[in-house]
Amino acid sequence: MMTTPESTSAEAFNQYLSGRLIAASNGWKNLLIRIYSEPRVEESVIYPAVAEPRIVRILSGAAAVEERELGGPWLKTRVEAGDFFLTASQSPYEVRWRAIGSEPFETMHVYLGLPVFNRAIEEAFQTDQGATHLRDLSGFKDNFLSALLEGLHKELLSRYRGSSQFVEGIAQSLAGHLVRTYADETTQEYKGGLPGLGCAKSGT
């Protein structure tokens, strides 16, 4: 059995997920996107921390999802298509779930590159990234976030393989929205993260 580290890169996070990878972005600047077909039942999976803000959108199906800090109490959330998870924790955590109904349980994972995220913090709060931190949220709805991720989903599946200008524009909008809507003042600082998300060349 693979040992889960305390933290990993967004690029390497895939190896700790139990779902089957359906599609993934290829070299998009400031964004990494992966779509999964999830197992209907997951008894326990431990996710390491990543430096980049991570959004999970439920694309189809519904499930009863439970999460906890390692060794802590379980927190249960019922989710359905259109719901989101936002994770910015710098500690690993454990997740389990059971799908509800007969629809396939599919998810979209979005990692936002630190350069564009930190720039949005500086613009919004006139301070550096060490002064703010995103909240961890489970099973919430956000119409504007839905619109942004729907655009990314369509771009990912497009035969044009992603317009760099389009993707960069959505990354900036996404960063600004997350910071203005879900950021709190904190002393915790984002550190680490491979430069690949911020420096990768856009696909053509």
Chain segment 151-193, per-residue pLDDT in tens: 999 999 886 665 788 899 999 999 999 999 999 865 444 444 4
pLDDT surpassing 70 at residue 138: yes
Tell me which residue range forms the domain holding 43: 19-181
pTM: 0.86
Q: Could you tell me if residue 132 is inside a domain?
A: yes
Q: Is the dihedral of CA 181, 186, 187, 191 positive or negative?
A: negative
Residue 109 sits in a domain whose CATH number is: 2.60.120.10
Q: Could you tell me if residue 97 is inside a domain?
A: yes
Q: Could you tell me if residue 7 is inside a domain?
A: no
Q: Could you tell me if residue 191 is inside a domain?
A: no
Q: Could you tell me if residue 173 is inside a domain?
A: yes
Q: Could you tell me if residue 55 is inside a domain?
A: yes
Q: Could you tell me if residue 14 is inside a domain?
A: no
Whether 65 and 79 have beta carbons less than 8 Å apart is answered as: yes
pLDDT surpassing 50 at residue 82: yes
State the total domains in the chain.
Answer: 1
Q: Could you tell me if residue 11 is inside a domain?
A: no
Q: Over the stretch 183-199, which tens digit does the pLDDT of each residue have?
A: 986 544 444 443 334 33
